[in-house]
A and B are shown apart, each in its own frame.
Chain A
Amino acid sequence: MLLTTHGLGIGHTKGRPLLSDLDISVSQAEILALTGRSGSGKSTLLYTLGTLMRPLVGEVVIEGEPVTTWPQARQAAFRARRLGFVFQDALLDAGRSVIDSVTEASLYAGVSRGSVHQRALELLSKLEVTDLDRRRPGEVSGGQAQRIGVARALLMSPRLVLADEPTGNLDPQSGAVVLNVLREYADQSGSGVVIATHDPVVVGLCDRVVNLP
């Protein structure tokens, strides 16, 4: 099993968990959809799985390692090498080019931007945002920015991809491109993908769905 949680309780205030007793799992090459109404805790759960937040109770185990108990620096190194994040907003660096935004993920894994440049271009091409690599984020559309964010998440071949509404800013055609890329990535690398979404089309393409109360 790639990811498992045991009796997970998450939330922002101790004693008032947003979600409790969560036992979820993601196996290799599986795409899991997290659904639920707004404010149900989808994003919070995603951040907890991604070691950005500590759970109130319980633990998250990724590839057999209890990542939520680690110190912050070790968690950061883990995120850099093994996790890929797609944020709700693309969060590209406004002062840098698109290619810099994509290759930024390599820095924290101790890999130079130059050595992942070719892979970044390939990913941009797969996501149908070629010829944008020298542009600044202000010169691309919201949908293009979101696809660039997906390329950044996949750059370091993470074992687990955590995507928060990855198709929220995309038209159906672009959304399908993103989902296909995520599907292909999961199938080829055996990595798991967790997607927090409202979109029934996205849910329909996932292997399994966890509906949060």
Chain B
Amino acid sequence: MKARLLVGEAVADLRSQRWRTVLLIGSLATCLILLFGVESRVVQTRASLDAAIDAPGARLIRITAYDTAVQVYPPQIDALRSLSVARAVFAITAPEGARSRATPALGDGTVRWYEGLIPPQTASPPCRSAMAGPPAAASVGLPDAVGDLRTEHGMVSLGGLWAIPRELGFLSATVLVRACEGAPPMKELVIVVDDPQHLEAATAAGVALFSATDASKLTVRSEQHALDQQRSLLRIVEADSRALQRWVALALTAIATLLLGSYVVQRRSEFGRRRAIGATSSWVACLVLVEALVSALVACALGVTVALVAQRMLMPGGFSWAFAAGAACMTLAASALGAVIPAFLAASADPIREVRVP
């Protein structure tokens, strides 16, 4: 009965005046869930990559363009289709012009890995509004490729830091568009085949690719460790993501402490009055804790909804309910932890001091 009264009181308090707490914790929960979503995307990508590589007859071709930006011309895609390659990994070095304040790691000459699905041939009319590629692009479903590349960039690492999904989408689109609009010429096209048995087919594909690019040199070679490199990159990205989640959780706790602490200071008179007319100090402390938890619950619902919509828009297929639940639990735990000191402060409100008229 007492617990029910306590929860009812906390809900009524929040309904009356504490929506700012909910909104702030909700926005932090959204960040957390989006981060979890990114990580879940990485895990999914790795799993699908592993499955693609391990499947019988599967082939992985890595196309590396050094010292320039990749131009995913339709003939390349056609060549990959002819090899029944469903997934390709692209290494991209962005041109100097791609450097910006939002993406400072770009344009530093480092090769970055992108992964893209090779879209099946479709009968849909071509659309070239996003990219100004070579004339041959007009006859192939180029936007599909671009779209797939953009949405499959779950493992892009920016100088060891995670970029949020929106940033990833923007970044990759920018790189591709820039590459087509005035990237420096490609110096060398390298095709790396993980399985030496596919070297011959890859060479044929490489010739087709070579003719579609302005590269002056073509190299086709097999490399046994390409996949391992890819996996190690994913592991680094995962670790980065987890580290950032820990920081966000810590920040959430600190913000919850400050926010609830400031509310408690504002409400000292209320807590003093409550104690004067019969509330025990533990009841007051529990009220603050329950208010924090109820806020966090509402915030989590808000956060999941916003993150769901955001991820659907920015990273299709990237939302995982399991990861969202994990983030929600972390938000709840951080809020409860952040409420401990404020609860103690509230419980120590002196009724005499608060009810006495000076």
Residues of A in contact with B (beta carbons under 8 Å apart): 43, 47, 52-53, 72-73, 76-77, 79-81, 83, 85, 87-89, 91, 93, 95-96, 100, 104-105, 107-110, 112-113, 152
Chain A contacts of B148 at CB under 8 A? none
A53 and B352: CB pair below 8 A?
A: yes
Please classify how large the interface on chain B is, using the bins under 10, 10 to 19, 20 to 34, 35 or more: 20 to 34
- Contact partners of A105 in chain B: CB under 8 A: 277-278
Given contacts A95-B13, A100-B12, A110-B2, contact A47 B352 (CB under 8 A): yes
Please give, as numbers and ranges, the residues of chain B lying within 8 Å of A73 by CB-CB distance. 280-282
Which chain B residue lies CB-closest to A83? B278
CA distance in complex: A100, B273 (Å): 14
- Which of B277, B281, B283, B357 lies in contact with A89, CB distance below 8 A? B357
- In the complex, chain B residues whose CB is within 8 Å of the CB of A104: 274, 277
Q: What number of residue pairs across chains A and B have CB atoms under 8 A from each other?
A: 75
Interface of B is mostly: helix
> Closest chain A residue to B283 by CB distance?
A108
Contact of B1 among A83, A95, A110 (CB under 8 A): A110
Neighbouring A residues of B12 by C-beta, 8 Å: 96, 100
Q: Which residues of B contact A53 (CB under 8 A)?
A: 352
Interface string of B262-292 (1 = CB under 8 A from A): 0000000110011111111111000000000
**How distant is the Cα of A46 from the Cα of B88 in the complex, in angstroms?**
82
Please give me the residue from chain B that is nearest to A106 by CB atom. B5
Shortest distance in angstroms between A51's beta carbon and chain B's nearest beta carbon? 10
Q: Which of B5, B9, B17, B352 contacts A110 (CB 8 A)?
A: B5
Q: In the assembled complex, how far is the CB of residue B19 from the closest CB belonging to chain A, in whole angstroms?
A: 11
When C-beta atoms are compared, the residue in chain B nearest to A152 turns out to be B277
- In the complex, the chain B residue whose C-beta lies closest to that of A73 is B280
Q: Which residue of A lies closest to B287 (CB)?
A: A107
Given A52-B352, A89-B357, A107-B9, is A95 in contact with B17 using a C-beta cutoff of 8 Å? Answer: yes
